[in-house]
Each structure stands twice: as C-alpha cells, then as structure tokens.
Structure 1
Amino acid sequence: MLEFLFSAVLIGAGATALLDLWAQFLKRAFGLPAPNWAMTGRWFGHLAKGRFAHEDIARSEPVPNELALGWLAHYLIGILFAAILLAIWGLDWARNPTFLPALIVGLVTVGCGWFILQPGMGAGMASSRKPNANQIRAMGIAGHIVFSIGLYAAALLIR
C-alpha cells in the first residue's frame, strides 16, 4: 500500500507539474492565458457549502484562500488520476511503464473537465457556453495528452 501511495503521489505530481510547464510555454510562446486556479478553488470552496453549479464562477462569492485551494485541488486531482491508473494497471505498470495506459487515462480524464468542472463553473458542457468553445476543447485535449506524457515520464523517472 505504501508503494502504491508513494508512486501515485510522485507520478501524479510529476505529470501535473509537466502540465503546468506546458501552460507556461503556451502563455509565453502564444500569449494564451494560463489557467486561473483561483476559480477552481472558488468552485471547490462552494462545493463544501453544497453548491455545485454556478451561472458564472467569476461572479460567485469568493472563498477564503481560493487560489491556494485551487492549486491544491489541481495537484490532488493529478495524484488521484495517477492512483486510478495504478489501480487499473497495477504497480507493475509503475515498475515497467508503457505509454498506452497513461494516454488512455489522460484522454478519459478530459471528460472530468468537460462534464463536471466546466458545467459546474458555468461554462456549460465542454465549454459550450463559451464563444471559443472549440479552442477550449482542443486545449483541454492537448493538455491532457501532455498530462499523459507526464504520467509516463514520471513513472519512468521513479522506477
């Protein structure tokens, strides 16, 4: 169990860190906005109060420490996704990683953003209420592929 937790934390945090580096690259190279983790923190903060859906999360009441909460949630979710990968493919995958399981997990987890987070924050299913919905969708897929690469690379580094 300790090896499972240790692997999930290192692989998930490593993959999430690569995703954050990707976001910084996109910001600097193409001027694309980096994720606003404060809004994610605000959404999670309201979940604790029993509120799942918002018309527009930016106009919802701020919660204490929402930026820190957002960053914490971001990394904990990355660790959770790594734990799911390990629960399905086992610790043998972490000992001898292959890319396909990481890619599958990365692509499946796009759905969490599209069908849970974005609707809950007021953007609609797969950001359907946003004027640049297709760009947001494409960025989500690309980001989760980068996360997949991070899962695989982190597993290679710790094996």
Structure 2
Amino acid sequence: MNTLLYILTIGIGATVVMDLWGALRKPLLGIPPANYGMVGRWIGHMTNGRFIHTAIAQSSPIPGEHIIGWAIHYLTGVAFAGLLVAIWGSNWIQNPSIGPALAVGIGTILAPFLLMQPGMGAGIAASRTPNPAASRIQSLITHAIFGFGLFLSGYIVQLFLPE
C-alpha cells in the first residue's frame, strides 16, 4: 500500500514541476502554457465515440472539459510514475536516481506525439502545426522537465521514508 501512496505522491509532484515550467514559459519564452481544457474536450468526445478531430479547438465544447483535462493530466503523471516504479522496481523509491527518471520522462513524449496530437488534429509529432520543429522541441523540454520532476519528487519522498 505504501508503494501506491509513494507513486501517487511522486506522480503528482512531477506533474506540478512540469506545470511550473509551463507557467514560466510565458514570461521567459513567450510560449503560453498548455490548455488542458482541450485534452478534456478530446476525452469528452471519446464518450460519444469520436477519437479523432481535424482541430480540437473547433470541436464543440464539453461540459467540465477543463476539470476533465486537468484530472487526466494529473492521472497521466501518476500513471507514468507507476511506469517508472514498474520498470525499475520499488527500490527506486528508496534510492531514486536521475537516469531512470529522465528515461521515463523523455519516453513519455510518445503519448502526445503518437496519441494526443494526432487525435486532436495536430498530426503525428505535431506535423500539422504551424511550426512542428518548435512544437517538438518544446515537448521534448517539457517531458525532460517532467522526468526531472520524477527524480526530484522521488528524492523528496525518500527523505520521509521510515528507516
């Protein structure tokens, strides 16, 4: 049971780190943070059997899409923390290291590149966006920061583990 609590804490912590980066992108780089309402819209349309959109922003709004999107965002972060522990074992929680955390964090880029972006109308790896290279670089940076967040959260969690 403790392992599940640690995974939950690490996943939420890593996602918070990623969101802090998203908030800093606007003043530092002029790039607005992600709109998780569009993720909620995409997920909401799935309940009606619609999985692929030409442009998600043009699709009809879904009641509660912002709440749905943010919930999915954090649940995904927790799931990826679970993946980290599933691959490297629960011993990673007692002795977190940056390599596995970055590997999982960067590896999670496959989810938006191959699932979310195509489903939301942006194409595989943002190929249908105005500047695919910039979108890909920002995704890579964001997911690397999520990986760092996994490590940082794991490090903080292990400080509070019983001896």
Structure 2-normalised TM-score? 0.95
Q: Which residue pairs with 1:38 in the alignment?
A: 37
Aligned residues: 158
The 5 A counterparts of 1:42-121 are 42-121=41-120
1:69 and 1:4 map into 2 onto residues whose CA distance is: 26
2:122 alignment partner, SS class: coil
Q: Residue type of the partner of 2:128?
A: R
Offset of residue 111 of structure 1? 0.7
How big is each residue's C-alpha offset from its partner over 1:96-151, in whole Å with a ceiling of 9 and x where there is no partner? 00111111111111010000000000000001011111101000000011000000
Q: Which residue pairs with 1:3 in the alignment?
A: 2
For structure 1, which runs of at least 5 residues remain unmatched after alignment?
Answer: none
Structure 1-normalised TM-score? 0.97
Structure 1 residues 4 and 48: CA distance shift in structure 2, 3 A = farther
Percent identity, aligned pairs only, is 43
Q: Which residue pairs with 2:154 in the alignment?
A: 155
How big is each residue's C-alpha offset from its partner over 1:23-65, in whole Å with a ceiling of 9 and x where there is no partner? 1111122221110111011011112222110011011111110
1:90 and 1:49 map into 2 onto residues whose CA distance is: 38
2:50 and 2:85 map into 1 onto residues whose CA distance is: 31
2:108 and 2:98 map into 1 onto residues whose CA distance is: 16
Q: Which runs of 4+ in 1 moved over 4 A?
A: none
Q: Which residue pairs with 2:161 in the alignment?
A: none
2:80 and 2:89 map into 1 onto residues whose CA distance is: 13
> Is 1:136 matched up with 2:135?
yes
> Is 1:145 matched up with 2:139?
no
Moved more, 42-51 or 53-62: 42-51
CA RMSD of aligned residues (A): 0.8
1:31 and 1:93 map into 2 onto residues whose CA distance is: 36
2:29 and 2:78 map into 1 onto residues whose CA distance is: 28
Offset of residue 7 of structure 1? 1.2
1:55 and 1:124 map into 2 onto residues whose CA distance is: 9
Offset of residue 4 of structure 1? 2.1
